[in-house]
Amino acid sequence: MEFNLVLKKFRAGMARIAYLFPSTYEAMLSSLPTHMIYYIVNSVDEAYLERFHIKKFQGEEPPPRSIETGAPLRSFELIIVSLHYELSIIDVLRALLSAGIEPYRKKRKQVIIAGGPVVVSNPIPYSDFIDVFIIGEIENTIPRLVKDWVETRDKKEYLEKIASYNDVYVPDIKEDARKSFVSDLDKAFYPVKQIQNTEIEPVYGRGFLLETSRGCKYWCRFCMEGRLFKPYRMRSFHVMKNLVEHGLRMNNVNRVIIYSLCFLGNLYEKKLLEYLVENNIGAVLPSMRIDHLDEDSLEIISMLGQKTITIAPESFLPTKKCIFGKYHGREFLNDIELILDKGFDLKIYMIVGVRGLENIDLDEIKYIEKLSSKAKRKGRKIVVSVNPLIPKPRTPFQWIGMLDPVRLKRLIKSLKNRLRRHVDFRDYDVRWAVMQAAIALAGRDISETLLQTAKLGGGLSGWRKALKMTNYNINYVFDGYEFGEELPWSKIVIDKLCDKIAAGEYEQLVSLLRSASGDHS
């Protein structure tokens, strides 16, 4: 049973707009952009938005019908999709095929608009399927796009009109775009009302979704999102406090689920935690930087009832920290031990498989074994999640490439065999990582492979068969792009400074990797 819905009486001439979320209903409830889009679109008088989600991740997707009225997806004239993860395009295509909607935009009568991090970084792989891409943040762009559709209701006229917007990429009509962003979060729209379900539990549990800051202050070399959403912006304590007070009441919850790429990166966020403790409000915290977790912060987090702290050191080794541009020059093992001393369990994210450094990855083991011994003495648990380095657009690794899958699998297997006696070891499947990188770094020529993957039911099996059917070559994933050549996404401008920094970092990385691997040529 849902509440906080927008109820509109459908009348002749009203634009029917679909929002297709390419994951489960539970994940959709936990997605802040879902709530933003739902309320923004429904604020337009002559528009009514209905929601759709994916039922199955592989095989034949049931014909999608809206949550609100049970209407089939094909009866909607405008479809909005969120692409937060490269592999989501396969599920979008599976849903279109199941709905009887033509996937290729040139043959389709419906208009499909897409936004999200993977769209902002590189929309080109999806450009044969998607009509309109939002390059940047949605608060300012979605209302304009919806109002323009209400006024035109004609695909050709609509695409030509919106092509004049700087922050919109319209394939074959306007090939360039520049990222737009909200300059002041305090003044930006925020969905204080959020769709709640009294029977189905969201992924992060029930609570009020609160974005405390946006963007990131740091320049981790592997991190695409931290670069896409610069500059770093924060909400003031006064605004966050008001949002929490109204949000808890309107959503009938007593728990805040915090969204931030850089949590505790400002004093307002620490003050927010103190306010939550004082008012006996529960909280779910995101992954946090180790250097943001001092003794005082850990005491406050403990009083919130948080049992586990999630951190992402990525590596314990000085060489890799320097390569990743994270915690370089900082010894933080004592800081991590302090988290255990304060009574928390730990979830640790790590990255392995940098080309030229795979031999030293095994040196991480002694640091984890030391932490594990302390955790056992304290009666605490440690989860170690190991992920292959996935080269992404806008980062210097777009020119470095990815370690080949055979060596990656061998490396992760060695780590697993050594560490599973000490910690709860989890790893991201190398095959999915390769598929993710292949889509992230692709140009338009990947279209047929993506469509065939969807027709084959998705999944790794569908991807593998589609690669053979289309004879698509993914060597660019492992070789990296040639430094200086034009990249598929080069006409999509995120931040000229960002691209300059990435180029400078590449030259530093080449030198560091040669030094670390003993290659001085």
Query: Do 489 and 409 reside in the same domain of the chain?
Result: yes
Residue with the two structure tokens 């990815």:
402
Does residue 207 register a pLDDT over 50? Answer: yes
Arithmetic mean of pLDDT, 46-58: 95
Q: Would you say residue 421 lies in a domain? A: yes
Which residues, at least 6 apart from 390, have a Cβ–Cβ distance to it below 8 Å?
A: 222, 402, 433, 436, 437, 440
Do the strands 382-388 and 424-427 form a parallel or antiparallel pair, or are they unpaired? parallel
Query: Do 313 and 292 reside in the same domain of the chain?
Result: no
More confident call, 508 vs 348: 348
pLDDT of residue 357: 80
Instruction: Give the tens place of pLDDT for each residue, 258-297.
Output: 999 999 999 999 999 999 999 999 999 999 999 999 999 9
pLDDT of residue 224: 94
CB–CB of 385/348 below 8 Å? yes
Arithmetic mean of pLDDT, 249-264: 97
Last residue of a domain, one of 303, 318, 337: 303
Query: Do 124 and 101 reside in the same domain of the chain?
Result: yes
pTM score over 0.85: yes
Query: Do 296 and 313 reside in the same domain of the chain?
Result: no
Q: Would you say residue 194 lies in a domain? A: no
- How many CA atoms lie less than 13 Å away from 65 in the CB half-sphere? 5
Does residue 193 register a pLDDT over 50? Answer: yes
Do the strands 233-234 and 213-214 form a parallel or antiparallel pair, or are they unpaired? antiparallel
Q: Would you say residue 322 lies in a domain? A: yes
Across the beta sheet with 345-352, the strand order is 308-314, 345-352, 382-388, 424-427
Q: Which domain holds residue 257?
A: 207-303
CB–CB of 186/12 below 8 Å? no
Last residue of a domain, one of 163, 178, 193: 178
Does residue 521 register a pLDDT over 60? Answer: no
Query: Do 158 and 212 reside in the same domain of the chain?
Result: no
pLDDT of residue 493: 93
Query: Do 315 and 438 reside in the same domain of the chain?
Result: yes
For CA atoms 158, 161, 167, 171, the dihedral sign is positive
CB-based burial of residue 369 (10 Å sphere; 0-12 exposed, 13-18 middle, 19+ buried)? middle
Instruction: Give the tens place of pLDDT for each residue, 69-90.
Output: 999 999 999 999 999 999 999 9
Query: Do 281 and 350 reside in the same domain of the chain?
Result: no
Q: Would you say residue 10 lies in a domain? A: yes
CA distances from 465 to 25, 267, 472 (A): 29, 51, 11
Instruction: Give the tens place of pLDDT for each residue, 86-141.
Output: 999 999 999 999 999 999 999 999 999 999 999 999 999 999 999 999 999 999 89
Query: Do 482 and 456 reside in the same domain of the chain?
Result: yes
Q: Would you say residue 131 lies in a domain? A: yes
Instruction: Give the tens place of pLDDT for each residue, 136-192.
Output: 999 989 999 999 999 999 999 999 999 999 999 999 999 999 999 999 999 999 999
Q: Would you say residue 99 lies in a domain? A: yes
Query: Do 113 and 70 reside in the same domain of the chain?
Result: yes
Number of domains within the chain: 3
- Position 518 confidence tier, pLDDT thresholds 50, 70, 90: low
CATH of the domain at 32: 3.40.50
Q: Would you say residue 189 lies in a domain? A: no
Q: 436-451: string of b/e by CB count within 10 Å (b at 16+)?
A: bbbbbbbeeebbebbb
CA dist., res. 81 & res. 99, Å (int): 15
pLDDT of residue 359: 74
Contacts by 141-147, CB closer than 8 A, 24 or more apart: 141/115, 141/165, 141/167, 141/168, 141/180, 142/37, 142/40, 142/41, 142/80, 142/115, 143/40, 143/43, 143/44, 145/113, 146/15, 146/17, 146/40, 146/41, 146/44, 146/47, 146/78, 147/44
Query: Do 21 and 154 reside in the same domain of the chain?
Result: yes
Query: Do 375 and 282 reside in the same domain of the chain?
Result: no
- Position 496 confidence tier, pLDDT thresholds 50, 70, 90: confident
CATH of the domain at 240: 3.30.750.210
Does residue 43 register a pLDDT over 50? Answer: yes
Last residue of a domain, one of 160, 178, 196: 178
Query: Do 174 and 89 reside in the same domain of the chain?
Result: yes
- Position 33 confidence tier, pLDDT thresholds 50, 70, 90: very high
CA dist., res. 290 & res. 136, Å (int): 29
| Residue from 317, 319, 355, 310 nearest 333 by CA | 317
CA dist., res. 103 & res. 504, Å (int): 39
pLDDT of residue 520: 35
CB–CB of 393/487 below 8 Å? yes
Instruction: Give the tens place of pLDDT for each residue, 406-465.
Output: 999 999 999 999 999 999 999 999 999 999 999 999 999 999 999 999 999 999 999 999
Q: Would you say residue 15 lies in a domain? A: yes
Instruction: Give the tens place of pLDDT for each residue, 325-376.
Output: 998 777 888 899 999 999 999 999 999 999 878 777 778 888 999 999 999 9
